[in-house]
Amino acid sequence: MPEKEKKKSWREIQRERQKRQQRAEEAFKIQMERETKRKPRKWPKGKILLAAIALIVILGIYGLWQLTATPTTPTDGTTPVTPVSGYIVIMPDGAVNPSNAPIANDGNNRYTFTADIYNQIIVGKDNIIIDGNGYTLNGTGEYLARGIDLTGRKNVTITNIKIQNFDYGIYLSSACNNTIYKNTFTNNHCGIWLEATSNGNIIYGNNLTKNKMYAIWLKESIENTISENTFTLHTNYTIYMRYANKTTITKNYIKNNNMGIFLYQSTNNILYHNSFIDNMPTGHVSADLPNKWDNGKEGNYWSDYNGIDANGDGIGDTPYIIDQQNQDRYPLMRGVATPPTPTAGIPIETEIVAAAIVVIAVTAVLVYRRRKA
């Protein structure tokens, strides 16, 4: 009679199961190692998508940097647009000559730069707006060259341009009721030149720095307004006025120039709420005729004023003496005018690229999250 098979205990059964499972796991591991050697490792879809997002953002930032960079010369191998006459002209009928100049006319009396410009511009039309769109108008330092010539013009607005390396950044002669605002003038012989009954013009919100002889020259003109500008680092004159009367000069920041304001045979001008800071060695102001240096309640801030303010109302208790004919009766203890933030605008192309980068990145993240869910 055959011997009866001995019944296995529960522990022996469990031990055999564990051995079989271990052998199966080892076999699976060996199989996976063989598969890995045969096939390249694949990235998970989520990681691929994140890598694509990162690449898009990097390329977008690089493109944005390339777009916002302002080259001193064209980088595409071409030469600047040069009309036969050497000028770009906005004609009385509104046409731009030459027609391929980088100035777009929207048909509604608004002219917008589409690139840096390397020519002088003559304006022959009244009642228009010239918007630099953050671009630069470049000169060569040529004698008598005028960045923008507004001779005889009325009601022209010039804004958002960096104007540099001209004899005259903007030239006004017999030009009335024009507005020049939020531009930058640097390295010109004179930033803004007004003469010959150029009356009723407004110059405000501009940054004028390191112009070689004058920031602003104002001659034989009346009732102009110079306000909320920044004047710095002029080694000769800053604002030079000659036979210029009834001018309002207010809320300007005038710092670190050789001389702040020079008035020659100019009277009935009012100057208040300006900040005169460290204009040396010549000084803040020179005048040979009487002018008004406050608005009846408040005057200007002078960095070398030594008076006190006993009652703490922000106004010095004694006048600031300029000369025997001129004094600020209500000198301010603190400056009202402060340096502006940079004024150059962002070209529309830059805004479009930035918006596209944001939209692509957000869309990719949303798609990734939806797939992961």
Question: Which two tokens mark 143?
Answer: 């004698």
**Mean pLDDT of the region 217-228:** 98
Query: Has residue 66 got a pLDDT over 90?
Result: no
Task: Read off the DSSP letter of residue 151.
Answer: T
| pLDDT tens per residue across span 258-295 | 999 999 999 999 999 999 999 987 788 999 999 999 99
Distance CA(329)–CA(319), nearest Å, equals: 4
Phi, psi torsion values for 244, nearest 5 degrees: -115, 125
| pLDDT tens per residue across span 96-111 | 999 999 999 998 999 9
Secondary structure class of 44 (helix, strand, coil): coil
Distance CA(207)–CA(164), nearest Å, equals: 12
Distance CA(349)–CA(354), nearest Å, equals: 9
Nearest to 115 by CA among 106, 98, 103, 124: 103
Query: Has residue 313 got a pLDDT over 60?
Result: yes
The number of beta carbons lying within 10 Å of the beta carbon of residue 325 is 11
**Beta-strand pair 110-113/103-105:** antiparallel
Distance CA(369)–CA(205), nearest Å, equals: 47
Instruction: Give the model's pLDDT for residue 281.
Output: 75
Which of the two residues, 209 and 5, has the higher pLDDT score? 209
For 134-189, list the strands marked E by DSSP.
Answer: 136-138, 146-149, 157-159, 162-164, 168-173, 179-181, 184-186
Q: What angle do CA 284, 288, 294 make, to 5 degrees?
A: 55
% residues pLDDT > 70 (the chain): 75
> Which of the residue ranges 72-86, 312-326, 350-364 would you say has the lowest mean pLDDT?
72-86
* Arithmetic mean of pLDDT over the chain: 84
| pLDDT tens per residue across span 19-62 | 777 777 777 677 777 766 665 555 565 666 666 677 776 766 65
Instruction: Give the model's pLDDT for residue 19.
Output: 74
Segment holding 67, helix H or strand E: helix 45-68
Instruction: Give the model's pLDDT for residue 27.
Output: 72
Query: Has residue 354 got a pLDDT over 60?
Result: no
> Which of the residue ranges 189-198, 230-239, 257-266, 276-285 would you say has the lowest mean pLDDT?
276-285
Contacts made by residues 182-187, CB under 8 angstroms, sequence distance 24+: 182/206, 182/343, 182/345, 183/132, 183/158, 183/159, 183/207, 183/343, 184/208, 184/209, 184/343, 184/344, 185/209, 185/211, 185/215, 186/162, 186/210, 186/211, 187/211, 187/212
CA 133, distance to chain mean position in Å, is 10
**Mean pLDDT of the region 286-309:** 96
pLDDT-derived band of residue 12, with 50, 70 and 90 as boundaries? confident
